[in-house]
Amino acid sequence: MNRTRALLTILLFASAIFLENCNLPRVEFASPTPTLTPDLNATPTDTPFPTPAPVALGLAENPLILALPPSADSPEQITAVKTLATMFTERTGYTVVTIVPDSYTALVDALAQGNAHIVLLDPYAYTLAYQRGSVQAVYAVLKAEETTYGAQFLATRKGGFQSFYNSTSGENTADAGVALEQFTDKKPCWSDESSPSGYVIPLGFLNKNLIITKPAAFVEGQPTVVRSLYATGICDFGATYIDARKFPSLEDEFPDLIEQVIVVWQTPAIIPYEVLAFSTTMPEEMRNLFSTEVAAIMQTENGSQALKSAYGIEALQGVNDGFYTEFRTYVEESNIDLATLVK
């Protein structure tokens, strides 16, 4: 029994020594992989794509747009404006195409959206586009060698009104406040609700000088204003372009008209004809280039004819926006919503 126990002890001791000296592989237990729980409140995001660079103005993919007057549809006008577009492209290297807007309202909107760049605007459309920061004036259209014209206030001697205008010198003898004060609480005859010389600018002068009148009569036409004053009983005073009294049919109809219907006061010549303007989206260097090319094209036979056929332009004078400051001032003084004057 003792012998058996001694033998077992020896075997266990030998096994321990053997196991200690064996080079058994070590087992490394990895840490448990964490369970990922989705955030149900997270907002998914798209992978951002690079924004393409804008196409430079004047390239074929983003051409400059030359606009005809609204609703121009004669073959001669279409051909002429295409000729001008081709000339601009050849001379500047910029691609120029043409459009025909439905109205000045549509054209002013196109300017605001960058969809028109070279335009001929009437005075109201120019003023509205300028107020919106869409255009810069470049050239004034001349008519009878003038870029602007004035308005005159008329009344009758029978009405007891006093003239503050010297027909010999062609000058006023008093400022507007003094001359127009006599129209306080009197009834005007206006031409129509959009006429610069027969309504808007004269009203601006009255308002600026705080002259309050009776409700007006709109008699449709400046010769009609003169007739209404001559007839008496319709209105006390009126306004027309200078000098509507000399309209041929009026002189024939009323031989003593000039004596009976007198000029009370004349406004300065601040009412412009059309304005050739460039979009403010055109870089300054580009505007300067096209301004130079307009003048150069005017000197060529084909260019001069194309401008005349497309726009009725026979002569231009270089201007800037400051040239129209007084006109804009008195349009604003009229308190008429300018958008309603743009057709």
The answer to whether 304 and 298 are in contact (CB under 8 A) is: yes
Give CA 275 to chain center in angstroms.
11
Which residue spans of the chain are classified as CATH 3.40.190.10?
Answer: 64-146+272-341, 151-267
Half-sphere exposure (Cβ direction) of 284: Cα atoms closer than 13 Å = 0
Neighbours of 64 (CB within 10 A): 24
How far apart are alpha carbons 109 and 103 in whole angstroms? 10
What share of the chain in percent tops pLDDT 90? 82
pTM of the model: 0.83
Q: Give the three-state DSSP class for 74.
A: coil
How far apart are alpha carbons 262 and 157 in whole angstroms? 7
How far apart are alpha carbons 294 and 309 in whole angstroms? 15
DSSP state of 25: P
**Residue 25 in this model has a pLDDT that exceeds 70:** no
Mean pLDDT of all residues in 33-37: 45
Structure tokens at 211: 């002259």
Q: Give the three-state DSSP class for 73.
A: coil
Q: Give me the sign of the Cα torsion angle 185, 191, 192, 193.
A: negative
Q: What is the pLDDT of residue 9?
A: 43
Q: What is the pLDDT of residue 73?
A: 84
> In the sheet where 96-99 sits, what is the strand order?
96-99, 64-67, 118-121, 275-279, 135-141, 316-318
The answer to whether 227 and 154 are in contact (CB under 8 A) is: no
Which residue(s) pair with 135 in the sheet?
279
* Per-residue pLDDT tens over the stretch 121-160: 999 999 999 999 999 999 999 999 999 999 999 999 999 9
Query: Which of 191-196's residues contact partners 24+ apart within 8 Å by CB, and which partners?
Result: 191/218, 191/219, 191/220, 191/221, 191/222, 191/224, 191/225, 191/239, 191/240, 192/218, 192/220, 192/221, 193/218, 194/124, 194/341, 194/343, 195/222, 196/123, 196/124, 196/151, 196/271
Residue spans of beta strands (DSSP E) within 112-181:
118-121, 135-141, 148-149, 151-156, 165-166, 171-172
Neighbours of 71 (CB within 10 A): 11
Both ends of the chain: CA-CA distance in Å?
130
How far apart are alpha carbons 183 and 206 in whole angstroms? 9
Mean pLDDT of all residues in 238-261: 93
Q: What is the pLDDT of residue 41?
A: 54
Q: How confident is the prediction for the chain on average, in pLDDT?
A: 89
Residue 56's contacts (CB-CB under 8 Å, 6 or more residues apart) are: 62
Question: φ and ψ at 162, to 5 degrees?
Answer: -105, 135
Give CA 96 to chain center in angstroms.
20
CATH of domain 151-267: 3.40.190.10
Mean pLDDT of all residues in 261-277: 98
* Per-residue pLDDT tens over the stretch 177-200: 999 999 999 999 999 999 999 999
Mean pLDDT of all residues in 4-16: 42
The answer to whether 236 and 155 are in contact (CB under 8 A) is: yes
Fold observed for domain 64-146+272-341 = D-Maltodextrin-Binding Protein; domain 2 (3.40.190)
